[in-house]
Amino acid sequence: MAFPVTVLPELTTPVYSVVIDSGVLLKLTRHTSESFPATACGLILGLDANSVLQVAHAFPFPPSESSGASGSEDASAPRSKANVRYQADMIRLLKEVNIEANPVGYYISSYLGGFFNQALVDNLVSLQATNPNSIVLVHDVTRSSQSSVSLKAYRLSVQFLATNKASGGKFSSEAVVKNNLTYLDILEELPISIKNSHLGTALLHHLDSPTFTRKDDPTSFVSTSALAPNFDSLDLSIDPYLEKNVEFLLESVDDYYAEQGTFNYFQRQLAREQSKIQQWIQKTRSENALRERANLPTVSEEDWQKHFKLPTEPSRLDNLLISAQIDQYCKQIEEYSSVVSSKMFAIQNSLDN
Amino acid sequence: MSNYGSFLHLSKPASMMTAQASSTPTPLNIIIHPQSLFSILDHTLRRNEGQERVIGTLLGQRSEDGTEIEIRSAFAVPHIESAAQVEIDMEYHKTMYNLYHKANPKEILVGWYATSLELNAFSALIQNFYSSVSDGTYPYPAVHLTMQVDPSSDISIKTYISTNVGVLPDKISESCLFVPVPNELRYAESERSGLELVASAKNNESRETSIISDIANLEKSIEEVISMLDRVSAYVASVQDGTSPGNAAIGKFLLSNLSLAPKIDPDELEKLFNSHLQDILLVVYLSNTIKTQMQLFNSLKRTAVIS
């Protein structure tokens, strides 16, 4: 994967938090909310210094041109050939206007938190190979439309990368256990803060000032300022969001059981093969005894490998991903219901008065 | 006769085909997305030493009849300016525009921006380039946006379209009159929360803010509503005491707003609320069970492998 690398992996200091420029946040949210419900994808550029990752710029990738592109194709966009070229061109041009064009990760949009898939893992593995501080910014479009912006920064945890390396991408059970990897540790979350430049702050104050807001109706007392507070979060309807969430949760549980089924199948096969091998070893042992008496060459007991092939263990990665996804849905439901139940109880109290 | 001063009649930006000249309408309103403004500011911060102003291209959409232009994003174009001449990297503009267009096929070239309020001959030249036939905004007029980013004074944003005011044919490319067009700031619903988050940092010393959870957001909104109610009730109390003069318009406005609370039978309402609450609690219980079971599976798996 040829990203224009300006930083050697061994010399990077780990980052513990992410600072995003305000312009980047606005660009990101606009791109993801506009391409809803398709997954939107783009690259983020910035600088990692002083254990803080500063994201200074971002640009979207062109939507994939193949018709009938599934969501997973878009999500693997950072690695498709056309997009690598696009990215190289873009970075070259941005360098000319003094923008520090150092890729530090990519961003994706997610629908109700469903972003734990193979594409995510592949992208992050390749990105973190060049720059261990790469992150993925996940913007949840459905939640942001209701309340505050839901943006999270993740990167693959150390245990995950170690397991990946140790098992060569196959994720066998022993590699997983040895590296202490549970589904909760696949991604680690980094805290995000938004920073405005001085000029940006000046602009925000200007937008809020009375000279700028055009009151179309001079008799109205409602402020039409761009920055007037947003009270949508006090709305009471819950059904569509919660319903969708539960639907996805049940689907993931079904996927989980399907995956469990394949693993059980493998285990049964393994058991059968092993019992067959044991029988064969017993047989050769008795044959060897006979042959020794007849002074014929003995067959070694280790030769069972020539006759039997053990089934290969399926990768545990899917299992881990699905479990993490289920966990994510459950967390979302809990967070959401905490807000809604507080609102409900507040209204109930006011009704009783 | 004319107590109003002198007038100058200006034709719309002339297009070569007279038949179509009347059908290309002039923009009457320009809508700016806040994101483009931030991009422009960002570019200003990164300008080279000694550059007074920076210029770049504006991209956006035009409405069906051409009367409304929406500016959605902007990118910078390197340029060199001296007292005698100005040089813009047109190749850069073309390549960058193509790249941007691939990512956002709906956005087209609508104009250019500059970060100083002055309009001089160079502006006219650049405006000409952007309105040109080959890869300008022909036959629509190009929009020019100037933004004053001098830290000592207020940030002001002005938008113009140009029209020819040529006197001499050989100097026609250098002379044009910039006609101001009203502009307004608009954003989509989905961007509103983003903008609000960014704006919450404007009063902080460090210009930083972190992403707050839903519950904290709810608390903030409720606190704001409570403070608003406090202010209104303090005002009403003071009017009733006679300490401050009452305003009939405000009083009527308040009355009409307060009467918006719906009248429902309290028992009915209580039943609705209870069932609603029960739905939520059921779902929470379900999700908690699933989560616990996953964790249990996980630990069982690990012990099974080890043994």
Q: What is the pLDDT of residues B242-259, one digit of tens each?
A: 777 777 888 888 888 888
Same domain for B110 and B221, yes or no, is: no
Q: Do the domain assignments include residue B209?
A: no
Same domain for B158 and B228, yes or no, is: no
Please give the share of chain B, as a percent, with pLDDT higher than 90: 0
Contacts of A145 in chain B (CB under 8 A): 189-190, 193
Instruction: Indicate if the pLDDT at residue A2 is higher than 50.
Output: no
How would residue B267 be classed by pLDDT, with cut points 50, 70 and 90? Answer: confident
pLDDT at position A344 = 78
Q: How far apart are CA B283 and CA B295, in angstroms?
A: 19
Cross-chain CB nearest to A183 (options B188, B207, B298) = B298
Q: How distant is the Cα of B245 from the closest Cα of chain A, in angstroms?
A: 18
Cross-chain CB nearest to A337 (options B195, B280, B298) = B280
Closest residue, chain B, to A88 (C-alpha): B99
Contacts of A192 in chain B (CB under 8 A): 210-211
pLDDT at position A158 = 81
- Hunting for tokens 């606009």 — which residue is that? A30
- Hunting for tokens 């009248």 — which residue is that? B263
Nearest to residue B41, comparing CAs of B88, B79, B74?
Answer: B74
pLDDT at position A198 = 77
Q: Do the domain assignments include residue B48?
A: yes
Contacts of A21 in chain B (CB under 8 A): 42
How would residue B169 be classed by pLDDT, with cut points 50, 70 and 90? Answer: low
How many domains are there within chain B? 3
Q: Do the domain assignments include residue B197?
A: no
Same domain for B176 and B306, yes or no, is: no
Closest residue, chain A, to B269 (C-alpha): A351
The residue of B30, B36, B38 whose CB has the most chain A CBs within 10 angstroms, and thus the best one to mutate to test that interface, is B38
Cβ separation of B290 and A149 shorter than 8 Å? Answer: no
- Please tell me which residue, A212 or A42, carries the higher pLDDT value: A42
Q: Which pTM does this prediction carry? A: 0.76
Give the mean model confidence (pLDDT) for residues B276-303.
83
Contacts of B257 in chain A (CB under 8 A): none
Instruction: Indicate if the pLDDT at residue A190 is higher than 70.
Output: yes
Nearest to residue A343, comparing CAs of A187, A189, A232?
Answer: A232
DSSP letter at A227 equals T
Q: Do the domain assignments include residue B84?
A: yes
Same domain for B148 and B285, yes or no, is: no
Instruction: Indicate if the pLDDT at residue B17 is higher than 50.
Output: no
How would residue A291 be classed by pLDDT, with cut points 50, 70 and 90? Answer: confident
Nearest to residue B61, comparing CAs of B89, B19, B27?
Answer: B27
Q: Do the domain assignments include residue B182?
A: yes
Cross-chain CB nearest to B211 (options A96, A149, A214) = A149
Two tokens at A225? Answer: 């300022």
Give the mean model confidence (pLDDT) for residues A293-322.
76
Instruction: Indicate if the pLDDT at residue A337 is higher than 60.
Output: yes
Same domain for B247 and B170, yes or no, is: no
Please give the share of chain B, as a percent, with pLDDT higher than 70: 77
Cβ separation of A98 and B305 shorter than 8 Å? Answer: no
pLDDT at position B223 = 85
How would residue A121 be classed by pLDDT, with cut points 50, 70 and 90? Answer: confident
How would residue A262 be classed by pLDDT, with cut points 50, 70 and 90? Answer: confident
Same domain for B237 and B303, yes or no, is: no
Instruction: Indicate if the pLDDT at residue A15 is higher than 80.
Output: no
No. of helices (H) and no. of strands (E), chain B: 8, 11
Q: Do the domain assignments include residue B6?
A: no
Chain A interface includes B300 (CB < 8 A): no
Can you spell out the DSSP letters for B186-255? ---HHHHHHHHHHHTTTTSTTSEEEPPPHHHHHHHHHHHHHHHHHHHHHHHHHHHHTSS---HHHHHHHH
Same domain for B247 and B298, yes or no, is: no
Among A residues 38-77, those touching chain B with beta carbons less than 8 Å apart = 56-57, 59-63
Closest residue, chain B, to A316 (C-alpha): B301
State which of B190, B207, B234 marks the end of a domain: B190
Contacts of A271 in chain B (CB under 8 A): none
* Residue-number span of the structural domain to which B290 is assigned: 264-307
Same domain for B157 and B229, yes or no, is: no
- Decide: residue B22, CB within 10 A, 0-12 exposed, 13-18 middle, 19+ buried: exposed
pLDDT at position A136 = 86
Same domain for B183 and B288, yes or no, is: no
Q: How many CB pairs under 8 A join A and B?
A: 256
pLDDT at position B172 = 60
- Please tell me which residue, A233 or A57, carries the higher pLDDT value: A57
pLDDT digits (tens, 9 = 90+) for A145-184: 556 677 888 888 888 888 888 777 677 777 777 777 777 7
Give the mean model confidence (pLDDT) for residues A4-10.
45
Among B residues 113-172, those touching chain A with beta carbons less than 8 Å apart = 149, 151, 154-155
Give the mean model confidence (pLDDT) for residues B178-197.
75
pLDDT digits (tens, 9 = 90+) for B62-108: 877 767 888 888 888 888 877 777 787 888 888 888 888 888 888 88
- Please tell me which residue, B2 or A43, carries the higher pLDDT value: A43
Cβ separation of A195 and B270 shorter than 8 Å? Answer: no
Cβ separation of B194 and A25 shorter than 8 Å? Answer: yes
- Please tell me which residue, A290 or B7, carries the higher pLDDT value: A290
Same domain for B20 and B151, yes or no, is: yes
Give the mean model confidence (pLDDT) for residues A132-153.
77
- Please tell me which residue, B286 or B175, carries the higher pLDDT value: B286
Give the mean model confidence (pLDDT) for residues A234-255.
77
Cβ separation of B103 and A335 shorter than 8 Å? Answer: no
Among the listed ranges A51-60, A255-264, B145-154, which one has the minimum average pLDDT value? Answer: B145-154
pLDDT digits (tens, 9 = 90+) for A301-312: 677 777 777 777
- Please tell me which residue, B169 or A215, carries the higher pLDDT value: B169
pLDDT at position B280 = 82
pLDDT at position A229 = 57
pLDDT at position A233 = 57
pLDDT at position B137 = 60
Q: How far apart are CA B14 and CA B17, in angstroms?
A: 9
What CATH number did the domain enclosing B94 receive? 3.40.140.10
Cβ atoms of B98 and B107 within 8 Å: the answer is: no
- Please tell me which residue, A335 or B119, carries the higher pLDDT value: A335
Same domain for B122 and B178, yes or no, is: yes
Instruction: Indicate if the pLDDT at residue A264 is higher than 70.
Output: yes
Q: Tell me, what's the ipTM?
A: 0.75
Contacts of A172 in chain B (CB under 8 A): none
- Decide: residue A53, CB within 10 A, 0-12 exposed, 13-18 middle, 19+ buried: buried
How would residue B181 be classed by pLDDT, with cut points 50, 70 and 90? Answer: confident
| Residues 6+ away with beta carbon under 8 Å from A121 | A156, A317, A321
Q: Do the domain assignments include residue B268?
A: yes
- Helical ranges in B3-120 per DSSP H: 18-21, 34-45, 90-103
Instruction: Indicate if the pLDDT at residue A70 is higher than 80.
Output: no
Q: How distant is the Cα of B131 from the closest Cα of chain A, in angstroms?
A: 23
- Please tell me which residue, B52 or B94, carries the higher pLDDT value: B94
Cβ separation of A99 and B273 shorter than 8 Å? Answer: no
Please give the share of chain A, as a percent, with pLDDT higher than 90: 0
Give the mean model confidence (pLDDT) for residues B44-49.
75
Instruction: Indicate if the pLDDT at residue A232 is higher than 70.
Output: no
Closest residue, chain B, to A332 (C-alpha): B287
| Other residues' Cβ atoms within 10 Å of the Cβ of residue A118 | 13
Beta bridge partners, B80, equal: B87
Cβ separation of B225 and A206 shorter than 8 Å? Answer: no
Instruction: Indicate if the pLDDT at residue A194 is higher than 70.
Output: yes
pLDDT at position B12 = 54
Cβ separation of A199 and B45 shorter than 8 Å? Answer: yes
Q: Do the domain assignments include residue B113?
A: yes
Same domain for B255 and B278, yes or no, is: no
Contacts of B288 in chain A (CB under 8 A): 330, 334
Give the mean model confidence (pLDDT) for residues B280-296.
86
Closest residue, chain A, to B264 (C-alpha): A351
Give the mean model confidence (pLDDT) for residues B167-196.
71
